[in-house]
């Protein structure tokens, strides 16, 4: 990637996107970073306050479904690289209302691919690259002790994961059909500051702080593989700069925990931190009816990115969980959304 490049980060006002945007704006002052986001309920311009005054930062409020606008942005700014994060992301919402997931994740991604392809046809850009941010959920559920990797077959099982899988198939079809310079990364569950409070960790902290019943789906034994958001951001940077066009990369920190373990850890830490008597918060854990079709376990083998791109996660799970809880405790307004 040319050191003077202009890059497009979609979904940059959301949870992972704002960390990606901050990382590239602060660490690559010679990149001009265009952050594109239509500010749905999970996107927030305040998330970008730490970088909004930087000269290499531009925010564009736009919908990836709007072909004309996306095409203009790519042409007007001579985009040389795209990191595509914009998506509808909450599995529960996808169960209640799948169509927005198809619209944004499938059609929106296709619009973006098509706008890039049109641009490249008119303005061949030798080092252009496109990174699709996908998820471990496209592979479906897997039993211990097995792991999915880049060779695993797609087996999405929720409308969310099916829409992400469809988007990935379109990216791969563009690669195959048009030699479109794309890569895909699959990451596990991210956690950290600025995550919308609908997701497990901030949702648990919000309920614990309000001393309200802390909901947990079913028996809480569903296993997720967790990664600290800065570890994921570093993986995205590695793939964007050093990944091979046409390749896919699984990104995991190998921190597998059952949902009930995570919720219990949060309650225990908050009881100590807030000086509450033992079990004050733990006793609030309330099992609620399970999510339909709830996948039992997600887990990825990330040896390919570790060996080929020398990426390693650096954050210990408990350390970054404590950092995350403390961040939410000092930003209670975030949990009121």
* Contact yes or no for 20/236 (Cβ under 8 A): yes
Q: Is 137 a catalytic residue?
A: yes
Which candidate in 136, 150, 225, 231 is catalytic? 136
Active-site residue identified among 31, 119, 130, 160: 160
Can you tell me the distance from the alpha carbon of 196 to that of 198, in angstroms, rounded to the nearest whole number?
6
Min separation Cβ 36 and ligand NAD, Å = 6
Burial environment of residue 189 by CB neighbours within 10 A (0 to 12, 13 to 18, 19 or more): buried
**What is the rounded distance in angstroms from the CA atom of residue 277 to the CA atom of residue 288?**
25
For residues 227 to 266, the per-residue mask of contacts with ligand NAD, x marking binding by CB under 6 A and - elsewhere, is ----------------------------------------
Burial class (CB in 10 A: 0-12, 13-18, 19+), 71: middle
- For tokens 């990836």, the residue is 64
CB of 210 to ligand NAD, least distance (A): 22
- Interface stretch with ligand NAD, choices 40-48, 138-146, 147-155, 299-307 (CB under 6 A): 40-48
| Rg for the chain, CA atoms, rounded | 20
CB of 267 to ligand NAD, least distance (A): 21
Stretch that binds ligand NAD, among 12-20, 111-119, 168-176, 317-325 (CB under 6 A): 12-20
Q: Is 191 a catalytic residue?
A: no
Q: From residue 38, give the alpha-carbon distance in Å to each of 69, 128, 335.
A: 12, 24, 21
22: annotated active-site residue: no
Nearer to ligand NAD, 160 or 284 (CB): 160
When asked if residue 71 is in the footprint of ligand NAD (CB under 6 A), the reply is no
Asked if 156 is part of the footprint of ligand NAD (rule: CB under 6 A), the reply reads no
147 binds ligand NAD (CB under 6 A): no
Residue choice 34, 48, 64, 120 for contact with ligand NAD (CB under 6 A): 64
Residue 104 binds to ligand NAD (criterion: CB under 6 A): yes
Nearest distance, CB of residue 221 and ligand NAD, angstroms: 19
Instruction: List, as one string, the DSSP characters of 57-106.
Output: EEEEE--TT-HHHHHHHHHHTT--EEEE------HHHHHH--HHHIIIII
Q: Which is nearer to ligand NAD, 37 or 150 (CB)?
A: 37
Does position 328 interact with ligand NAD (CB under 6 A)? The reply is: no
When asked if residue 270 is in the footprint of ligand NAD (CB under 6 A), the reply is no
For residue 269, state whether it binds ligand NAD (rule: CB under 6 A).
Answer: no
CA dihedral sign, ordered 60, 62, 65, 70: negative
**Is 13 one of the binding residues for ligand NAD (CB under 6 A)?**
yes
Phi, psi of 100 (to 5 degrees): -60, -25
CB of 52 to ligand NAD, least distance (A): 15
Determine which residue in the list 1, 26, 28, 39 makes contact with ligand NAD, applying CB under 6 A: 39
Q: Does residue 83 belong to the site contacting ligand NAD (CB under 6 A)?
A: no
Closest CA to 186 of 100, 312, 301: 301
Number of residues binding to ligand NAD, judged by CB under 6 A: 30
Task: Please pick, among 137, 168, 231, 256, the residue that the annotation labels catalytic.
Answer: 137
CA 330 – CA 324 distance, rounded (Å):
10
List alpha helices for 90-158, DSSP H: 91-96, 99-101, 109-122
**Residue in 29, 31, 39, 38 with CA at minimum distance from that of residue 8:** 31
Between the two ends of the chain, the Cα-to-Cα distance in Å is 38
What is the length of the chain? Answer: 337
Q: Does 33 bind ligand NAD (CB under 6 A)?
A: no
Give the footprint of ligand NAD on this chain (CB under 6 A). 10-11, 13-17, 37-40, 42-43, 63-65, 85-89, 104, 108, 133, 135, 164, 187, 189-190, 196
Annotated catalytic residues are 136-137, 160
């Amino acid at each position: 990637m040319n050191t003077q490049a202009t890059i497009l980060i979609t979904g940059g006002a959301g949870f992972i996107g704002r960390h990606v945007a901050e990382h590239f704006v602060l660490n690559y002052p010679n990149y001009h970073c265009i952050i594109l986001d239509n500010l749905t309920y999970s996107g927030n311009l305040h998330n970008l306050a730490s970088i909004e005054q930087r000269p290499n930062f531009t925010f564009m409020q736009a919908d990836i479904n709007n072909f004309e606008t996306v095409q203009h942005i790519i042409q007007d700014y001579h985009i040389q690289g795209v990191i595509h994060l914009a998506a509808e992301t909450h599995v529960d919402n996808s169960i209640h209302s799948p169509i927005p997931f198809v619209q944004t994740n499938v059609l929106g991604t296709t619009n973006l691919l098509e706008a890039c392809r049109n641009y490249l046809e008119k303005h061949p850009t030798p080092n252009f690259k496109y990174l699709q941010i996908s998820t471990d959920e496209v592979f479906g559920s897997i039993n211990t002790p097995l792991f999915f990797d880049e060779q695993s077959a797609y087996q999405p099982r929720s409308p969310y994961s099916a829409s992400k899988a469809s988007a990935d198939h379109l990216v791969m079809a563009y690669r195959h059909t048009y030699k479109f310079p794309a890569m895909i990364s699959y990451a596990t569950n991210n956690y950290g500051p600025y995550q919308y409070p609908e997701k497990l960790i901030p949702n648990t902290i919000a309920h614990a702080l309000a001393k309200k019943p802390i909901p947990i789906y079913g028996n809480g034994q569903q296993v997720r593989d967790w990664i600290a958001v800065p570890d994921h951001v570093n993986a995205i940077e590695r793939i964007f700069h050093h990944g091979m066009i046409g390749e896919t990369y699984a990104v995991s920190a190998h921190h597998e925990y059952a949902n009930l373990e995570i919720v219990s850890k949060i309650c225990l830490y908050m009881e100590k931190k807030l000086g509450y008597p033992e079990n004050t918060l733990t006793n609030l854990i309330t099992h609620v009816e399970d999510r339909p079709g709830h996948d039992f376990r997600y887990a990825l083998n990330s040896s390919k990115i570790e060996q080929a791109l020398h990426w390693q996660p650096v954050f210990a799970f408990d350390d970054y969980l404590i950092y995350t809880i403390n961040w939410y405790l000092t930003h209670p307004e975030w949990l009121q959304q």
